[in-house]
Amino acid sequence: MGNFLILKVLQSTLFLGDIYVADTGNNRIQRFDSSGGFISTWGSSGTGNGEFSNPQGIAIDSLGTAYVADTGNNRIQMFGSNGIFLYTWGSSGNGEGEFNVPTGIAFDSLNNVYVVDTSNTRIQKFDSSGMFITTWGYYGSDDGQFSNPQGIAVDSSGSVYVADSDNDCVQKFAKIDPVFPVANFSSNVTSGYAPLLVQFTDLSEHATGCNWDFGDGNTSTEQNPMHVYSAAGNYTVNLTASNLNGTNSTFANISVSVPVLPYHFVKKWGSFGTGNGQFNFPAGVFVDSSGNVYVADTDNNRIQKLIAVVTS
């Protein structure tokens, strides 16, 4: 033991001082102590669980679980540090979670898994259980493009380093922190008499969408809506701003009241016609000191006197 056949450069990893090596041509993983002394080996040629076809990458997470890029079988296999098979994911293809010659493999500080999907000329990122998170890269020679990428490493800040073999370079990628929306808005008035027309202005940052709840059962997705409050009350207006990374909400209050009039209605009398107490275009009115009412009944060409009725 300790002999190799087609050992890929840098396709080995350390855990607690021990060295794990993807012995590609022998379709196995070998484990050594820090002095190079042989400890154990596992794997053989095949397609079953724990078997390999030209494995080219291995990485150990913080819990001691070994992840092997089973290159020829287009999958990732997971093993305990003692070589016991745990789980596998992936298949041949170019969709999310599919591979075409996976080679390099690495972890970040959160135990997310990065796989160099060589013939698909991209990097795929997964969580520690193999759930797809994201991918980037495609064929080419420009920045962010790859040609036969092989090795991969992740530093303590989350930056990713890729050995872009046929482009004869190493590319570094920095983690982009997601930008979340910040909801904010104003209104031309915050109180008034019903019916109250309010103009709302969206002042949100980093938002691609908005949803308004006016607090009276009505909503809107317009950016700067106008809304009429027909009834008196205190209304809580809520704006939810959104983008691809999430949502954020804020609120404000609108107070609507009914005006207090200086006079109130008492009674009315009369209707259209020519009879007593009826009118046709009454245009003038006079009240004497006794409360009698005189009406100029214009189109009936007369004056009518209405006697005041005193009620106890």
Q: What is the pLDDT of residues 61-70, one digit of tens each?
A: 888 899 999 9
Higher pLDDT, 239 or 34: 239
pLDDT attached to residue 4: 46
Q: Which long-range contacts (CB under 8 A, 24 or more apart) does 308-312 make?
A: none
How high is the pLDDT of residue 38?
94
- pLDDT for res 6: 45
Q: Does 116 have pLDDT greater than 90? A: yes
3-12, 22-31, 90-99: which range is least confident on average?
3-12
Percent of all residues in the chain with a pLDDT value above 70, rounded to a whole number: 94
Angle at 268 between CA 264 and CA 271, to 5 degrees: 150
Q: What is the pLDDT of residue 181?
A: 96
Q: Give the model's pLDDT for residue 177.
A: 83
Q: Which of 256, 189, 182, 192 is nearest to 226 (CA)?
A: 189
pLDDT score at 310: 65
What is the per-residue burial (b if ≥16 Cβ within 10 Å, else e) of 182-211? ebbbeeeeeebeeebebebebebeebeebb
The residue-averaged pLDDT of 199-208 equals 97
The mean pLDDT value of the chain amounts to 91
pLDDT in tens, 189-201: 999 999 999 999 9
Give residue 24's pLDDT band: very low, low, confident or very high (50, 70, 90): very high
Distance CA(70)–CA(79), nearest Å, equals 12
* Least reliable range by pLDDT among 5-14, 49-58, 81-90, 162-171: 5-14
- Cis amide linkage into residue 195, ω under 30° from 0: yes
Query: Could you tell me where the beta strands, DSSP code E, fall in 244-299?
Result: 246-257, 282-287, 293-297
Q: Which residue has the higher pLDDT, 10 or 176?
A: 176
Question: What is the pLDDT at residue 10?
Answer: 39
**Mean local confidence (pLDDT), 84-99:** 96
User: In this predicted structure, what is the pLDDT of residue 15?
Assistant: 61
Residue 89, beta-bridge partner list: 76
Whether residue 166 has pLDDT greater than 80: yes
Paired sense of beta strands 246-257 and 282-287, if any: unpaired
**Lowest-pLDDT range of 10-14, 99-103, 116-120, 136-140:** 10-14
Q: How far apart are CA 125 and CA 113, in angstroms?
A: 6
Q: Is 70 exceeded by the pLDDT of residue 163?
A: yes
Q: Which residues contact 112 (CB under 8 A, 6 or more apart)?
A: 125, 126, 127, 128, 133
What pTM was estimated for this model as a whole? Answer: 0.61
